[in-house]
Amino acid sequence: MKEKNEEINVGGQAVIEGVMMRSPHAVSVAVRKLSGDIVVKKDRYISWTKRFKILNLPIFRGAVVLIESIVLGIRALAFSGDIAMEEEKSNGKPGAEETLEIPKKMSGFRLGLLLIVSFGIGLLLFFYLPLVLTDLLGIKSGFWFNIVDGGFRLLVFFLYLIFITMLKDIRRIFEYHGAEHKSIFTFENKLELTVSNTRKFTTFHPRCGTSFLLIVMIVSVLVFLFLGRPETISDRLIRLLFVPVIGGISYEFIRLSGKYADRKFASFLVAPGLWLQRITTKEPDDSQLEVAFAALKSSISPDFSKPTEIIKTNNHD
């Protein structure tokens, strides 16, 4: 393990039977196959905030990171989903594990389609529905309209999380989410990535995307207060233009809270996000931690000679 772990900022995301990890120079996805082996896919990736100085300015960088996280997250989910589909097609046939086709990089058309669908569903649930519900109440005051609209947005967000938690497959993803956080904590504390070292850490991380989404919801209420009550369709569309600004402000908040995580005021501010992770993270088992280790080690390694590899394990049935 490198001695300067603290200089490498690593983030991640849980996917279907796996974990995606992102370092300043690479994105790696590790997925557990039915055989127990781990498929690892690694791509070079330099953030746009590093390529263009203007995009690394406060607020701008948050908007860029938000968009990049959505794109990379969808790619990782699609890859893990393709692995699952290939294994389902094999249907446990003898020798199928050795001939399992590794999905290629997602096409631009497919990525664009997934982004449009995901963005559309997100707008419908967390933007349009709260506006409709608030409109039905007939509130005239711009201040109270935005307060109630924000309240509905938070309510929809919480109900959405509670609903997906009831799904069996989602619980598995939440366990991998916990594995992602625990492995990152281990790395940040400059410890070797082993199960015993990782077990001592919590699944609640202050820089979690779940915490970020909650902050986005709260910041959106404050920003929309300045826009008044939306009277026309154009007024509502203008709100969409402020989404990157809201993401940028939220990112700066997360960045500061992570930097001063040991201060009392910071712990108080991040507490709601950490509480929310009691829903979105679960304690992982050893095999799930191993997958997170594989993704993390791949993402920080300077070796790009193997874009895709299969790590053999002793977990075969």
Written as tens digits, the pLDDT of the chain (317 aa) is: 444 444 678 889 999 999 999 999 999 999 998 888 899 999 999 999 889 989 889 888 888 888 888 889 888 988 888 887 776 666 555 444 454 555 655 555 565 666 677 777 877 888 888 988 999 998 888 899 999 999 999 999 888 888 888 887 888 999 999 999 999 999 999 999 999 999 999 999 877 877 788 888 889 899 999 888 888 888 888 888 888 888 889 888 877 776 666 666 666 767 777 888 888 999 999 999 999 999 999 999 988 888 888 887 765 44
122 falls within a domain: yes
Closest listed residue to residue 12, CA positions, set 25, 28, 31, 33 = 28
Give the span between the Cα atoms of 218 and 153, in whole angstroms: 9
Its pTM surpasses 0.75: yes
303 falls within a domain: yes
Report the number of distinct structural domains present in the chain.
Answer: 1
Q: Give the 3-state secondary structure percentages of the chain, helix then strand then coil, rounded to 5.
A: 65, 10, 30
What are the tokens at 303? Answer: 């070796």
Is-contact 195 289, C-beta < 8 A? Answer: yes
144 falls within a domain: yes
Domain that holds residue 38: 11-311
Taking every pair of C-alpha atoms in the chain, what is the biggest distance, in angstroms? 67
Residue recorded with tokens 């419908």: 124
186 falls within a domain: yes
155 falls within a domain: yes
